[in-house]
Amino acid sequence: MTTAPTAGGAPTSFLEVRDLRIHFPTDDGLVKSVDGLSFRLEKGRTLGIVGESGSGKSVTSLGIMGLHTVGQYGRRKARISGEIWLDGKELMSADPDEVRRLRGREMAMIFQDPLSAMHPYFTVGAQIVEAYRVHHDVDKKTARTRAVELLDRVGIPQPDRRVDDYPHQFSGGMRQRAMIAMALVNNPELLIADEPTTALDVTVQAQILDLIRDLQKEFGSAVIVITHDLGVVAELADDILVMYGGRCVERGPAEQVFHAPQHPYTWGLLGSMPRIDREQTERLIPVKGSPPSLINVPDGCAFNPRCPYADLPKGGITRTERPELRPVPDAGDGRPHLTACHLPQQDRTRIWNEEIAPKL
């Protein structure tokens, strides 16, 4: 299992994304939001996609849902290429109406801010009922019973009463629970959670993370969690994909990515965040500079202007040639651990063990 072949048949994985590219033409130039992304995901497992603003992580999820173009009314259309295989079906070449029928039924999404993600003029119940009735030919009463049942399942007290409340009458945590209920109403097999807890308080965040974990066990769905918060992915994810400048820079089992990270950007993320589980460090180790503009992604490795080790590989290769994702040798339990970095493996291991790990 190395990098996915670009032209293969139907994969065996539940979800497989192959060389996904989503580019948006704008007046300022071509925004390469996602630029060659591949990964796979099995049912019952959770993939965490980590990245900063403008890394392309949210566009990736919208691309899988087929939501990256709708809403681009009349503007120049997004250019999308690659393959998205969901349960043996290729979505990119499928009829848009067929993809629509999968949306909400086979793949559902939870968004960051549940207040703005729910329609303020319709009751919570009405919105869940609507989501159910698009895909199930049932009367309103049955759908309402289903909505109450799910609100109960996600932990809304007095669900038969609260079902008729409007979103603004719910607290932030309850809204996110309702949003989860809405996403799960059709028992989707793929659940995408885009920053599901970013707008919530810590204690509520802990409740929601627990809920997502429990529900995944119960429903056995595949879950993609998209976040900038390494703490959140560490709580949920089996595998982690680190995105930078529209590309994957590191992908592997969570254990590996946190304990033997390979890419200098991953090191940077780990060094940037103060950690409550470690001894107090005197200083954080920030990454210099800011994330790149997706219009002008630096040549070579996109991270090279911010990378303290960019000059280590010979011949300035980091500034001219884009590194491919390559497997890391002897990485743990056999699940692949890949990184896109020009640094030779022994340098990477040495720098991590000697320079980075001790300072975290």
Site for other proteins in 112-141 (CB under 8 A): 113, 116-123, 130-131, 134-135
Q: How many CB atoms lie within 10 A of CB 344?
A: 12
Binding mask 52-71 for other proteins (x = CB under 8 A): xx-----------x-x--xx
Cβ-contact 60, 49 below 8 angstroms: yes
Q: Is 274 in the site for other proteins (CB under 8 A)?
A: yes
Number of residues that bind other proteins (CB under 8 A): 82
Distance CA 182, CA 104 (A): 9
Q: Is 275 in the site for other proteins (CB under 8 A)?
A: yes
Shortest separation between residue 135's beta carbon and other proteins, angstroms: 6
Which has the closest alpha carbon to 293: 19, 33, 59, 62?
Answer: 33
Gyration radius of the chain over CA positions: 21
Alpha helices per DSSP H over the chain: 57-65, 96-102, 114-117, 124-135, 140-153, 159-162, 172-184, 202-219, 230-236, 254-259, 264-272, 317-320, 345-350
Distance CA 30, CA 32 (A): 6
Q: How many CB atoms lie within 10 A of CB 212?
A: 24
Q: Is 109 in the site for other proteins (CB under 8 A)?
A: yes
Return the residue of 102, 124, 224, 340 that touches other proteins, per CB under 8 A. Answer: 102
Shortest separation between residue 63's beta carbon and other proteins, angstroms: 13
Shortest separation between residue 159's beta carbon and other proteins, angstroms: 15
Binding mask 226-245 for other proteins (x = CB under 8 A): --xxxxxxxx-x--------
Query: Which of 7, 276 has the CB closer to other proteins?
Result: 276
**Interaction residues for other proteins, span 279-318 (CB under 8 A):** 280-281, 283-288, 290-291, 306
Q: Is 149 in the site for other proteins (CB under 8 A)?
A: no
Return the residue of 12, 136, 210, 218 that touches other proteins, per CB under 8 A. Answer: 210
Task: Give the strand order in the sheet containing 29-41.
Answer: 29-41, 15-26, 79-86, 89-90
Q: Is 89 in the site for other proteins (CB under 8 A)?
A: no
- What's the one-letter identity of residue 68? H
Return the residue of 173, 245, 264, 300 that touches other proteins, per CB under 8 A. Answer: 173
Choose the binding region for other proteins from 5-13, 207-215, 310-318, 330-338 (rule: CB under 8 A).
Answer: 207-215
Shortest separation between residue 177's beta carbon and other proteins, angstroms: 10
Distance CA 338, CA 331 (A): 9
Return the residue of 19, 42, 152, 255 that touches other proteins, per CB under 8 A. Answer: 255
Shortest separation between residue 7's beta carbon and other proteins, angstroms: 30
Q: Is 207 in the site for other proteins (CB under 8 A)?
A: yes
Distance CA 316, CA 83 (A): 33
Cβ-contact 114, 197 below 8 angstroms: no
Return the residue of 6, 12, 26, 171 that touches other proteins, per CB under 8 A. Answer: 171
Query: For the CA atoms of 259, 221, 33, 53, what is the dihedral angle to 10 degrees?
Result: -60
